[in-house]
Structure 1
Amino acid sequence: MSERRAIGEMPEPVSDLAKAFMAPPDSTRPYVLWMWMGSNISKEGITLDLEAMKEAGIGGATIFSLADTLTPWAGVIQKSPTPEIVTYTEPWWVMVRHAASECRRLGLELILHNCAGYESSGGPWVTPELAMQEVIWSEVHIEGGRPVATTLARAEVDPHPHAQFPVVYIPSLGKDGMPIVEGRRSYYRDIAVIALPSSGIPAMDKIIDLTSKMGPNGELSWDAPAGDWTIYRFGHTTTGAMIQPAQWDAMGMECDKMSVEAVTFHCRHVLEDIKRHVGDLIGNPGLSTFYFDSYEAGDPTWTPKMREEFKARRGYDLLPYLPILAKRTLVSEAETERFQRDFKRTVMDLYRDCYWATPRALAHEYGLAFVAEPYEGPWDTREVVKYLDHANMEFWTHKGVYSPSSNREVNDTAHDLGQRIVGAEAFTTSPELANWQAHPAWLKPIGDAAFCDGVNRMNIHHFVQQPWGSEYRPGNAMGQWGIHLGRYQTWWKPGKAWFTYLWRCQTLLQAGAFVSPLDKTSARLVPTAGELDLKSIHRLHGRQHIYFVANIADANGIAECAFSITGLQPEVWDPVLGTMRDVASKQEDGSILFSLDFASHQSYFIIFRKPLTPAKPAPVASVFVTLADLSHSWHLSFDPAWGGPSAVEFESLDDWTSRPEREIKYYSGTVLYRKAFTLPQMAKAKKLWLDLGTVKHIATVFINGKELGVVWTAPWQIDITSAVVSGENKIEISVANVWANRLIGDEQEPADVTWQAGDPVLQGGYYMKELPDWFLKNEPRPSKGRYTFTTWNYFHDKNSPLQQSGLLGPVKVIAEA
């Protein structure tokens, strides 16, 4: 196979499903969106970030090089120690090369967004004539019936960006504002001069093209027919739409998306830079992919070849219809609407054929794949997915539930095209939920819903590059968005269990081919007990059926499961525990039937791969007996470096935030619970489990010195059979909560950082106005009672609600009856 065909190709990741489920291949790992915040990045931090990703089971990262902070507009944190690092300049490329080299060393895939910011495709190299364009016009009113000599002024426009999101931080003002785009003053090209009656709906013979009668300075001589006339001088200029949210010195205009020449110029400019700086590190592992994020650049109305493209595609000249863009009705309401539809369709065509059809061949020429989020712009998503090596969609967690963007257009089209990978910008979160409260159990049902929707590669939003030492935690922040993943997250180390879960799921969901829910082999899942909310997806791997079924509800219950399959044995594979078991079932009327017990937010794979085995009826739900209640008398060790007591006794399993001690109430981090217990009847048990009851938010269990694993989701149980003994046992449970409480606790102390309010309408929080001198000089901080350091403050209100924390129980040793 040639090199070109290999670029972007997604080979079948597995041959043996069971083997891959137990030991997933590197190619199916989850990915992260790696946010580089302005000039505050470091080589040391890049290495530590990538090593942490590798150790956690993350397979790749997409670099988005943004402003210092997001307000959500591009913001600045003053006094950066490395102000010379500006996106797409030489010092920044040194950092990118280092990242690519480290990815090559660690076996990770690196993806690079095509411009500074995450919106959308452009830079300082884009000149006004190659930038996005809009039709503008001036008009004069004359009385006809005589020769007319007049001068038509060039249209003048507001020099600020005409864009969807025009606000940025302007250094010269020291605040957010709309910048002046000189190209909107300096760049102008004429299109046509059109005259028509000033009132009414003119017929086509009353729409007069005067373009040839205008001189170079706008002078016009015309023997005007009787009546009142309006003369339009139509031209075009750049919309001034700027890439963002980017550093001020990295900003530039968006390239013209309806021009092959402009898109090619932009892409080749960036690709040549990539080749020059990291060309020998292109590949996987290394720098593999050229990336376009979702689109927010606005709706242009012109491109230099618009007239000829319109005529070629629609079969008539648009020139006489230009006054419709000036809100005039021509010929008839129906004719006006026809032109508006044709014009919109032409814009969609040009976006498809220029913006989307151009980059892949260019990227492949440089050895890179082309991947993008192709939705919610002036095009038909279903027409453009085919131009990608694979498509990504996006989902948010509005109100804590799965909230996708244009999922059906992206997912269904990718499936129809047979694209193996359907990626997603995953778990993007708004300020009321992004405030350091996300944890794996909360994220699980949201991710499961995405899996059932067709997503099979998570690109988690986000992982911020941490340039500073671990004493400055939780560290650098993107701003008001995101779930704040990263190596400084409180639950980062035990959170590997969640990444492993995503990895197992993605391995099976990338295997084989997607099967439509309309297929005759679709699953029927009917709750018979409890308030379940069941979703599923089906893939076919050769003759082996893969079903992923998930309970999205925060409730447990039982479901009757029916699969239109004959003669195959159902197996239940648990992607949390990594276990596989046959399930008792019966064949009836062409379907396999069985019952399945679901805990809150629990999910399974149902696999059909071997002949049906007659089995005795089994209980619908497991039945347990309690052998020991461990809910009382625990010894706890907090971390004094983060404000907690080194030793304290809990008679009962209290929520830390309910305690009177400030060092416990406001504690964030890890706490070790210890005690001893006795098992008098262990030998009689078939299998022993530790049931933790309620955990806020993630726990690692040790018994008799043996680490048994992480408990991070319902049913909050772990198999302890291999570790316990008859008689006395020693148990240790390491519990981590989230950062919110310590951040709120620090707000009880005097401030030693200057904060600036973000956007007053969105009210997402406060950003660090400048890095403080004590930080820059590595001196003790003035506010002695503060422990955390971060660039974004969600908790300016010191009375913000705390997050329930700790091992809440009841904790029991149970046995399967």
Structure 2
Amino acid sequence: MPRKFVSILLLLAFFLHADYLEKGFLNPPNEAKPQAWWHWMNCNITKEGIKADLEAMAKIGVGGITILDIGEGIPEGNVPTASPEWFDMVQYTLEVAESLGLEVNLHNCPGWSSSGGPWVTKENAMKKVTYASTDIEGGKHVVAKIPMPPVTMDFYHEIALLAFPKREATATLIPGFQGKALYPGNIDLKRGPNPPPEALVNPDAIINISKYMDADGILKWDAPAGNWTILRLGYTLIGRYNHPCTRFGRGLECDKMSKKGVKAAWDGQMGIVVKNAGKLSGKTLKGSLIDSYEVGPQNWTDTFAEDFKRLRGYAIDPYLPVLAGYYVKSQDVSERFLDDFRRTIADLFSECYAEYFNKLCKEANLEFLSEPYGGPFDDLLQGRTADIPMGEFWGVSTSAGNAAFAGNIAQVYGRKIAGTESFTAAPASGRWQSHPAAHKIQGDKVFSHGVNRYIFHSYAHQPWTRNSPGMTMGQWGFHFNRHNTLWDNYSGWLAYIARSQFLLQQGRAVCDALYVAQQKAPCGENYSPGMPQGYRANCIDSRSFIESTTVKNGRIYLPHGMNYRILVVTKTEEATPQLLQKVLDLAKDGATILLGPKTRNAFGLENYPQSDQDIQKLVSQIWGDMDGKNITSRNIGKGRVFFGVNPQAILDKDKVIPDFSYTTPGKSSPSILFLHKYDDKGNDWYFVSNQQKYAVEATLKFRITGKVPEIWSAESGKIAPAAAFKANDDSIEVPYNFKQSESIFVMFRNKATDKNKPAATAFEWTAKSTKGEGQANSLTIDKALYKAIDGAGQKDVTKLLQDMVTKQATLTLVASNEVLGGDPAYLHLKTLDINYTYNGKKFFVSISENATVDLPTGSSTIQPFQVERKPDGSLKVVAWQNGTLNVVSPAGSSPVVFDKVPEPIQLEGPWNVSFPQGLGAPNYAQFPKLASYTESKIDGIKYFSGTSTYMIEFDFPADQLGKPVMLDLGRVQVMARVNLNGEDCGLLWLPPYSTIVTDKLKAGKNELKIQVTNRWVNRIIGDDFLPQDADWNGVRLANWPQWFLDGKPSPTGRIAFTTWKHWSKNDSLLEAGLIGPVLVRIGQAK
């Protein structure tokens, strides 16, 4: 082949690969799309519903589902869990999903926690130590019936029968030993006061007399002289069941420290599904999930004694009395044994549950999805074998839950995808209230923590194609399903998510520090002392730290390429010699290490007491003469160690600026979050999120040099060069005016050259004074109650909220106990209900505890100007109001005056509005002016839920054609699709509800149609004024009404039908529809 042709092919291959980010962003693959948990509710499953559900999800941009078969308070159907009919439904799902290109995952057992079912026998179930004791007098041949320890479910096996000299009557037991030994209950690892000598059991005096007791518990033993305590230890069942599941799927939870037990749980459901799937296993059937761990600890398994010796290096027998609360030898020895005991449990959970479950998945060509927290384990060790580590967060609130935990696991252990159970809703924040705009800020926060796959909670399987809003997941979830009024309009939000998730799934995260978790289990992450703002860090489990970290060019490396400037090892009060030896080796190899307190003794009892001597030798080699005050650093080999300082001090010493920082004008301090990714092709990109529901003007500073920035908008799908930027010696600054709730990707993929130098480095806008024009907005809080949803208590916070209203007539707050001055009902779910008046109109909003409210709701702010950088490098500026834009460049400042922006054209009305049939509203109505549906005197409109179409004709001046024009819808509740003169202008799902319509206008008469969709809430409230059409047990549907089973309409005229009573006629309506004002804004371009 000619050399020239080879060179052309290589060059073409380079550019094709370099463009992979752009191609994937513009057309995200299925892997990048969000997924959903698909809950099959209490045996109510139909093939008709399966097909309709999957087709609906594929249509709007869902990439896959996870089936969870649960009960949760729904009337029972006729497809029993794990029956032949049920497995047939799973197989049918796979076949339909294959035709649609959807991925299917399956929870490993019925319920959402954890791994069990009717097929798990007692021998394979979770086990715990049980014990009983009695005292005997020695110096003779003893024949005695030894008390049987407490037994659960008639299952019991012996561990050992021990005898030791009886302690004094006043001798104490180890405080909190039940928790320290991981019996079911609370865990408190604090040590008590030193016990008196008479409380100690001498390990050399313990005699194993198991062989002298027969199967009936009769002891026949020649007891030495003295008084003896006889301790009988065995193991029994914990008696935990998988939940919440149907009565057909309920069974014992498997033994998590036994591969045999885990295999039994797998075989009962997943094994059958995999066998039935055949060639679809690994293709359409993609994975198996272990969801929330909610079944408590276990502290024994059949092989525990052997496993303990294998893992800890010494026999457990002399220390068994500690499991019954006795001090053996000393307090220190007893507590260190308990540390080893819990560490062994954590290691076995990892080895036999997580690692072995992953092996079973791999044998079936499946991925392992896991929420590895909440149990008696080392969370990071438990999660490191997950192919898709997961966390969870609950909406609608300001919290990202433990998204950072899932993101950390994916980054540290080299996983491409980090998922979260997403926007999980309790009744107060769910019940059809939420919508994409309400989720946006919280979801972006989750992205900034490293998560790159939303898995929505929840899509409840809809077995029927009639009767909406239909099936619920009991009281839970935000009702993400095809019977939600918002369903078709979710596509805009999902497109944004897919674009974002594609970029977030590529490359590696940039993190400056790697922290090491403690060795004492149960344990999670350790980020002490914390990193300063603008830097990121990861945390690794202690075993992986010892096994896999290396040093190269002064940076700490993990096997898959993640690397760090600083290693932080601060949980060092107790440590194994292996851990400290690793720290010493890394320091010698050139690492920079921040240390915690000097280690006082070895962790556990392996090789004790020699281990303590080894520790002190290593302490001397590592800490040396550092005291953390006068001497805080020293060199070891090629590296450095620090003690008594924080990460900021080391970063400052090394002149490492934040990876990301920002400034905003004025005294406000809005929150802007980030995540930095990079690849091996020289591309860097930052996800940057405005966490405010208002516009923010900011200068963004990135720790990047020698490149030019681009703005990639996942919301619109547009890519454009940054209109302005400034290159510094150590960073690049990009000015950006964020819309409310907006997020962007700032991409650095092209090297800086003379041809792509910035035309501007900053913009400064000064609005023309409008003093005396119009009137100021007004916001009045009429009534505000912070109350328990079950009526257990309430607090009037009207005055408190009135005092929080700003001069700009806005109010933003978090509905928390702290903000609202106390808890009116401890441990009860609460809402903040606000009745308010805005510009003379009455409104109501209800938000859940810890969620954020912004008043007025549904409002938006149009930015005064927009700047684009044209291909030739020059700037195009469009102003939407009169003012002056000062363009700052290396050559100086240049003011650009805009003084010919006309007043917007307000489309006041009348508006012709059409409604769909069958939803209670008239086919047609005319609105003299725009207002919430809830202000209508016609009940069918007042309580309407669904999509209506607003129509109006307006004249546009011929002399304004060709100028930039924006259609601004004002306030919308909650989504809108615009059509102008027969042309689609897009779906507006996020404030500000505006769209550019320049090329769709014509001189003279224009026809505008706006489809507006609101939520189910108002229709459900309105229906409650009608007679009941079903029987209820409180808020639960008691049974399927006959009219529903017969496929007939409600006999009482109700429109909505659902399985959970979330709303009543006593609740306030939510504002709905197009509220406006609708403005045609004509801009001035220069």
Per the normalisation by structure 2, the TM-score is: 0.67
Where does residue 28 of structure 1 map in the other structure? 32
Q: CA deviation at 1:485?
A: 0.3
Letter in 1 for 2:22: A
Where does residue 298 of structure 1 map in the other structure? 296
Where does residue 188 of structure 1 map in the other structure? 156
Q: CA deviation at 1:228?
A: 5.3
- 3-state SS of 2:401 partner: strand
Asked if the contact 2:203/2:319 (under 8 Å) is kept, the reply is no
Asked if the contact 2:159/2:235 (under 8 Å) is kept, the reply is yes
Where does residue 115 of structure 2 map in the other structure? 121
Q: 1:528 aligns with which of 640, 665, 677?
A: 665
Letter in 2 for 1:361: K
The answer to whether residue 82 in structure 2 is matched with residue 47 in structure 1 is no
Asked if the contact 2:909/2:952 (under 8 Å) is kept, the reply is no
Q: CA deviation at 1:587?
A: 1.5
Where does residue 313 of structure 1 map in the other structure? 311
Q: Distance in 1 between matches of 2:703 and 2:669?
A: 25
- 3-state SS of 1:276 partner: helix
1:81-116 deviations in whole A, cap 9, x for unaligned?
xx2x12222100111111100111111111111111
Q: CA deviation at 1:42?
A: 0.6
1:579-601 deviations in whole A, cap 9, x for unaligned?
22222112123322231111221
Where does residue 729 of structure 2 map in the other structure? 589
1:481-511 deviations in whole A, cap 9, x for unaligned?
1111011111111111001110111111112
The answer to whether residue 105 in structure 2 is matched with residue 111 in structure 1 is yes
The answer to whether residue 795 in structure 2 is matched with residue 800 in structure 1 is no
1:408-457 deviations in whole A, cap 9, x for unaligned?
44322320222111111111111111111010100111111111110111
Q: Distance in 2 between matches of 1:561 and 1:714?
A: 22
Where does residue 689 of structure 1 map in the other structure? 966
The answer to whether residue 97 in structure 2 is matched with residue 93 in structure 1 is no
Deviates more, 1:351-360 or 1:674-683: 674-683
Where does residue 270 of structure 1 map in the other structure? 269
1:245-294 deviations in whole A, cap 9, x for unaligned?
1111111111111012222333244343123322132233x212122212
The answer to whether residue 811 in structure 2 is matched with residue 814 in structure 1 is no
Q: CA deviation at 1:229?
A: 4.3
Distance change in 2, residues 1:108/1:682 (3 Å): farther
Distance change in 2, residues 1:41/1:149 (3 Å): same
Where does residue 787 of structure 1 map in the other structure? 1055
The answer to whether residue 506 in structure 2 is matched with residue 538 in structure 1 is no
Asked if the contact 2:282/2:364 (under 8 Å) is kept, the reply is no
Q: Distance in 1 between matches of 2:920 and 2:18?
A: 48
Where does residue 392 of structure 1 map in the other structure? 390
Where does residue 552 of structure 1 map in the other structure? 691
Where does residue 741 of structure 2 map in the other structure? 601
1:753-790 deviations in whole A, cap 9, x for unaligned?
11123xxxxxxxx2211111121123342222x11111
Q: 2:376 aligns with which of 359, 375, 378?
A: 378
Q: Distance in 1 between matches of 2:98 and 2:439?
A: 30
Q: Distance in 2 between matches of 1:358 and 1:34?
A: 26
Where does residue 8 of structure 2 map in the other structure? none
The answer to whether residue 1031 in structure 2 is matched with residue 754 in structure 1 is yes
Where does residue 1036 of structure 2 map in the other structure? 767
The answer to whether residue 144 in structure 2 is matched with residue 150 in structure 1 is yes
Q: Distance in 1 between matches of 2:261 and 2:115?
A: 10
> Map of 1:142-181 to 2, 5 A cutoff?
142-144=136-138, 146-157=140-151
Q: CA deviation at 1:373?
A: 1.9
Q: 1:38 aligns with which of 39, 42, 45?
A: 42
The answer to whether residue 225 in structure 2 is matched with residue 204 in structure 1 is no
Deviates more, 1:679-688 or 1:420-429: 679-688
- 3-state SS of 1:535 partner: strand
Q: CA deviation at 1:531?
A: 5.4
Q: Distance in 2 between matches of 1:630 and 1:303?
A: 74
Q: Distance in 2 between matches of 1:435 and 1:408?
A: 27
Where does residue 164 of structure 1 map in the other structure? none
The answer to whether residue 443 in structure 2 is matched with residue 447 in structure 1 is yes
Q: Distance in 1 between matches of 2:669 and 2:1021?
A: 35
Q: 1:490 aligns with which of 476, 485, 488?
A: 485
Asked if the contact 2:687/2:746 (under 8 Å) is kept, the reply is yes
Distance change in 2, residues 1:126/1:633 (3 Å): same
1:55-95 deviations in whole A, cap 9, x for unaligned?
1111111111112xx2xxxx3515x3xx2x12222100111
Q: CA deviation at 1:223?
A: 4.2
Q: Distance in 1 between matches of 2:703 and 2:313?
A: 51
Where does residue 413 of structure 1 map in the other structure? 409
Where does residue 720 of structure 1 map in the other structure? 997
Q: Distance in 1 between matches of 2:424 and 2:17?
A: 27
Q: Distance in 2 between matches of 1:215 and 1:659?
A: 84
Asked if the contact 1:402/1:447 (under 8 Å) is kept, the reply is no
- 3-state SS of 1:248 partner: coil
Letter in 2 for 1:536: F
Where does residue 624 of structure 1 map in the other structure? 880
- 3-state SS of 1:242 partner: coil
Q: Distance in 1 between matches of 2:669 and 2:966?
A: 26
Where does residue 475 of structure 1 map in the other structure? 470
Asked if the contact 2:153/2:237 (under 8 Å) is kept, the reply is no
Q: Distance in 1 between matches of 2:408 and 2:54?
A: 33
Q: CA deviation at 1:227?
A: 5.8
The answer to whether residue 1033 in structure 2 is matched with residue 778 in structure 1 is no
How many residues align? The count is: 756
Asked if the contact 1:755/1:767 (under 8 Å) is kept, the reply is yes
Q: 2:333 aligns with which of 314, 332, 335?
A: 335
Q: 2:705 aligns with which of 566, 569, 572?
A: 566
Asked if the contact 1:655/1:807 (under 8 Å) is kept, the reply is yes
Q: CA deviation at 1:331?
A: 2.8
Q: Distance in 2 between matches of 1:522 and 1:338?
A: 41
Distance change in 2, residues 1:682/1:590 (3 Å): farther
Q: CA deviation at 1:714?
A: 2.0
The answer to whether residue 429 in structure 2 is matched with residue 429 in structure 1 is no
Where does residue 7 of structure 1 map in the other structure? none
Q: CA deviation at 1:25?
A: 2.1
- The alignment-based identity, stated in percent, is 36
- 3-state SS of 2:269 partner: helix
Q: CA deviation at 1:815?
A: 3.2
Q: Distance in 2 between matches of 1:301 and 1:335?
A: 19
Where does residue 163 of structure 1 map in the other structure? none
Q: CA deviation at 1:34?
A: 0.9
Higher relative contact order (CA 8 A, sep 6+): 1
Where does residue 162 of structure 1 map in the other structure? none
Letter in 2 for 1:282: S
Q: Which runs of 5+ in 1 are unaligned?
A: 1-11, 158-183, 758-765
Where does residue 175 of structure 1 map in the other structure? none
The answer to whether residue 387 in structure 2 is matched with residue 131 in structure 1 is no
Q: CA deviation at 1:654?
A: 1.2
Q: CA deviation at 1:146?
A: 4.8
Where does residue 804 of structure 2 map in the other structure? none
Q: Distance in 2 between matches of 1:574 and 1:436?
A: 29
Q: CA deviation at 1:311?
A: 1.8
Q: CA deviation at 1:463?
A: 1.0
Q: CA deviation at 1:577?
A: 1.4
Letter in 1 for 2:64: G
Q: Distance in 2 between matches of 1:227 and 1:658?
A: 89
Asked if the contact 1:299/1:378 (under 8 Å) is kept, the reply is yes
Where does residue 615 of structure 1 map in the other structure? 758
Q: CA deviation at 1:38?
A: 1.9
Letter in 2 for 1:512: G
Where does residue 168 of structure 1 map in the other structure? none
Q: Distance in 1 between matches of 2:336 and 2:38?
A: 45
Where does residue 626 of structure 2 map in the other structure? none
Structure number with greater Rg is 2
Where does residue 234 of structure 1 map in the other structure? 233
Q: Distance in 1 between matches of 2:937 and 2:142?
A: 88
Asked if the contact 2:692/2:741 (under 8 Å) is kept, the reply is yes
Asked if the contact 1:375/1:410 (under 8 Å) is kept, the reply is no
